[in-house]
Amino acid sequence: ACSLLRSPKGFPKLKNDTFLRAARGEQTEHTPVWCMRQAGRYLPEFRETRASQDFFATCRSPKLCCELTLQPLRRFPLDAAIIFSDILVVPQALGMEVIMVPGKGPTFTEPLKEVEDLLKLRQKVDVTAELGYVFEAITLTRHSLEGKVPLIGFSGAPWTLMSYMIEGGGSTTMAKAKSWLYRHPEASHRLLRLLADVIIDYLVGQVAAGAQALQLFESHAGHLGPELFQDFALPYIRDIARAVKSKLKEEALPLVPMIIFAKDAHYALRDLAHAGYEVVGLDWTIRPQEARAQIGKDVTLQGNLDPCALYAPKEKIGELVKKMLESFGTQRYIANLGHGLYPDMNPEHVGAFVEAVHAHSRHINKH
């Protein structure tokens, strides 16, 4: 399905726009559903496609990204596709080396240690030169989807990327990265600004390539408290939404809905509701009613089933989904997990989740 011979324009007509309608706050017949990490290692066909390839080499192959993005849609009636890529392609575009170490995860060969290390980063990034492979993957996938469902593009948010660049990989405390916020606030802002500028161009480029919605992942928000988030995360999250929208207008590109997912940032939900995003994604640690009360009626919510609920028997998954839909309401809502799928999950249980969302939301809407 993924041949590279199509032109970027003249995309196929969209057949199922439920996800986009929900994101914009319009009525939907059923609640749309997709899953973070839906193109992932829980699928045997994913493991087979990825088997011999280096992870980031896969990210740089538009054909493979297209294939991996389409795999979950062949199995499940999901309402959206999300391009297969990784948030760490942005630090790579800044000139940092990241390798995927089996059993350990992404690892930076030379993380940022001193403020002087910022000088090693590219200060001006041509996103088409550095990240054009993602744009190609998006264009190819948008054609190959044949209008089945919308395609979501994404990026990591500045603080989350900064934390990886300083920690050199995953961390339970983020102590090295957070120490920069306390010891080197000016340098931290310089780095965050540099990241935000690249992310803005990168997201606009994804829309130009064919992305129909954008999600910003502030995956490490939970390591910040309200004050640090207010100073070092929120201003950039706001600025990205504002700048992306103004550039899309300038370039006469579609104004696509934007989603902010700041994991574990309950303390900031009110601020995130006013940060300029059409959708606020939620992790599983907040009650739907509380989130709705804080975020209000003018923003769509997305989430928030505990991913581990998918280990439950299928009937139990159905009950949990029904309860979640009753709590959120079926409108101005996109069903999802509160984080990504895990590699050892049973694909049939993912299918049960997706089908339960459709069946229960249709039933609730009728009655």
With cut-offs at 50, 70 and 90, classify the pLDDT of residue 2. confident
State the maximum Cα–Cα separation within the chain, in Å, rounded to a whole number.
63
- 86: annotated active-site residue: yes
- 126: annotated active-site residue: no
4 pLDDT more than 70: no
- How many residues are recorded in the chain? 367
Average pLDDT over residues 300-305: 98
Q: What is the mean pLDDT of the chain?
A: 97
With cut-offs at 50, 70 and 90, classify the pLDDT of residue 103. confident
CA distance between the termini of the chain: 40
Tell me, what amino acid is at 215?
Q
Rg, the chain, Cα only: 20
- 342: annotated active-site residue: no
CA distances from 290 to 131, 225, 294, 323, 328 (A): 39, 19, 6, 15, 10
| Contact between 242 and 275 (Cβ < 8 Å) | no
Average pLDDT over residues 237-243: 99
205: tokens are 């480029």
Q: Which of 24, 86, 267, 311 is catalytic?
A: 86
Q: Which of 17, 21, 42, 50 is catalytic?
A: 50
What is d(CA 116, CA 197) in angstroms, rounded to the nearest whole number?
A: 20
**Strand spans (E) along 173-234:** 213-218
325 pLDDT more than 70: yes
For residue 304, whether the previous peptide bond is cis, meaning omega lies within 30 degrees of 0, is yes
98 pLDDT more than 80: yes
Write down the residue that tokens 């939404």 correspond to.
241
| Contact between 161 and 231 (Cβ < 8 Å) | no
Tens digits of residue pLDDT in 247-301: 999 999 999 999 999 999 999 999 999 999 999 999 999 999 999 999 999 999 9
With a pLDDT cut of 90, the percent of the chain lying above it is: 96
357 pLDDT more than 70: yes
- 50: annotated active-site residue: yes
With cut-offs at 50, 70 and 90, classify the pLDDT of residue 7. low
| Contact between 15 and 147 (Cβ < 8 Å) | yes
Query: Of the candidates 269, 328, 341, which has an alpha carbon nearest to the alpha carbon of residue 46?
Result: 341
What is d(CA 285, CA 276) in angstroms, rounded to the nearest whole number?
A: 23
Query: Of the candidates 233, 254, 235, which has an alpha carbon nearest to the alpha carbon of residue 244?
Result: 254
Tens digits of residue pLDDT in 167-193: 999 999 999 999 999 999 999 999 999
| Contact between 118 and 190 (Cβ < 8 Å) | yes
Q: Which of 164, 202, 236, 277 is catalytic?
A: 164
Query: What pLDDT, on a 0 to 100 scale, did the predictor assign at position 102?
Result: 87
52 pLDDT more than 70: yes
Q: Which of 6, 24, 41, 362 is catalytic?
A: 41
Query: Of the candidates 339, 216, 328, which has an alpha carbon nearest to the alpha carbon of residue 283?
Result: 339
Which domains can be identified in the chain, with CATH numbers? 17-366 (3.20.20.210)
Tens digits of residue pLDDT in 116-133: 999 999 999 999 999 999
Tens digits of residue pLDDT in 138-159: 999 999 999 999 999 999 999 9
Strands lying side by side in the sheet with 151-156: 81-82, 151-156, 213-218, 258-262, 279-281, 300-305, 333-337
Query: What pLDDT, on a 0 to 100 scale, did the predictor assign at position 92?
Result: 98
With cut-offs at 50, 70 and 90, classify the pLDDT of residue 5. low
Task: Find the helix or strand (DSSP H, E) in which 155 lies.
Answer: strand 151-156
| Residue 263 dihedral angles phi and psi, to the nearest 5° | -65, 135
| Contact between 157 and 239 (Cβ < 8 Å) | no
Task: Find the helix or strand (DSSP H, E) in which 135 lies.
Answer: helix 127-144
